Amino acid sequence: MTQVDETLTESIGKLEAWFQQRLPNASSVNLSDTKRPQGSGFSNDTILATLSYQEDGKKHERKIVLRISPTGFPVFPFYDIPQQFDVMKALEENTDIPVPICLWKEYDTSILGETFYVMDYLEGKVPADNPPYPTEGFIVDATPAERGAMWKNGIKKMAELHQLDYRQAGLGFLEWPDKSQSAIAQHLHYYEEYFLWAARGEPQPVAEHTLQWLKDNMPTDEPDGIIWGDSRFGNVMFDGTDVRAVLDWEMIAIGNPEADLAWWLFVDWTLQRGQGNPELVCERPEGLPSDEETVAYYEQCTGSKVKHLKYYQVFAGFRFACVMIRIMQQQVSLGTFPAELGEALERNNTVTQILAELLEIPPPE
């Protein structure tokens, strides 16, 4: 049982009282069937549950999702769970981007030990990271035409997000604080700080080279739009081939939306390579568009040319490298890997291997 599972078990009574306050006309408020989803995710703690109560003489049951700031070994240096709630609420109220209906958020850490929010549970299928969707699951079981339709519908929805005016969408609170610097300069500074925090003073040759390359090749005069952040096939929920919801907004930022297209492609590369597991390396499933076809379709959807794809692919790799350092440290802390192996995997993993290829530098050792 994880720390969050223990916290939740111990706090069921507090949580039921909390729900009672938000449902003042209800009685017999009960929380049951609590469980953790499987298949993806290393950062936020997610709990699925059934909320039941009596109201107006009728019994009501509502499947819900609790997203809780991590209480164990964090992957990111800072989590703003209430902000994620605010992002989805703004998208729900001001745009046609499908997101889960957000119900309540809570800053008081006395309930679950951390801040959290509650949203409605949605029925749908999400391409899994573990095992990777190119190797098994509903994507592999689909027809080539269905795979292609899901992929393109996800790209189309991402393009629709990128065409929004973020201020009109109610997301002006995401603006970077320093108006004298470009969005990419501030975004890169954030990830440099993240990298220094994650590396803990240990050498990370590929990541260090990548950071310098990003500083030396920073684009200028770019558009500012919504960057979803964790923009990947595995964060799109499908109903058939239609997009049911766009998920996971913890990495959202303001900047050049090309960063999302680059992240989408980079993450897919890592999954095709089995995320470092030779047994999971696979051919691209028939029907999934190639990188070139994906870029062309994105340009068709947005009506504009992609200008800095390589830069943002390298930036995606650097961001992912920071995440991988922390994931390896997390796995060591959990006892999954011995320390020596974890330290080696911080430097040499699928992400740093791809980065070395992109930048034409020696592979990680």
Q: Is residue 230 part of a domain?
A: yes
CATH number, domain with residue 50: 3.30.200.20
Give residue 248's region: left, alpha or beta (phi > 0; psi -120 to 50). Answer: left
Does 188 share its domain with 63? no
Domain count, the chain: 2
Examine residue 127 and state whether it is found in any structural domain, yes or no.
Answer: no
Residues 48 and 151 in one domain: no
Residue 126 included in any domain: no
pLDDT at 2: 47
Q: Can you give the pLDDT at residue 4?
A: 52
> Is there a single domain that holds both residue 14 and residue 107?
yes
Predicted model pTM: 0.93
pLDDT tens-place string over residues 158-191: 999 999 999 999 999 999 999 899 999 999 999 9
Q: Containing domain of residue 71, as a range?
A: 3-21+29-120
CA nearest to 325, candidates 214, 197, 211? 197
| Pair (9, 92) in one structural domain | yes
pLDDT-derived band at 321, boundaries 50, 70, 90: very high
In a domain, 128, yes or no: no
> For residue range 109-132, what is the model confidence (pLDDT) as tens digits?
999 889 999 999 999 999 998 888
More confident residue, 244 or 134: 244
Percent of the chain with pLDDT over 90: 82
**DSSP states along 263-305:** HHHHHHHHHHTGGG-GGG--PPPTTSPPHHHHHHHHHHHHTS-
Q: Are residues 239 and 347 in the same domain?
A: yes
Candidates 256, 181, 184, 252; CA nearest to 225 is 256
Q: For 198-227, what is the mean pLDDT?
A: 97
Residue pair 19/58 in contact (Cβ under 8 Å)? The answer is no
Please report which confidence band the pLDDT of residue 197 belongs to, taking 50, 70 and 90 as the band edges.
Answer: very high
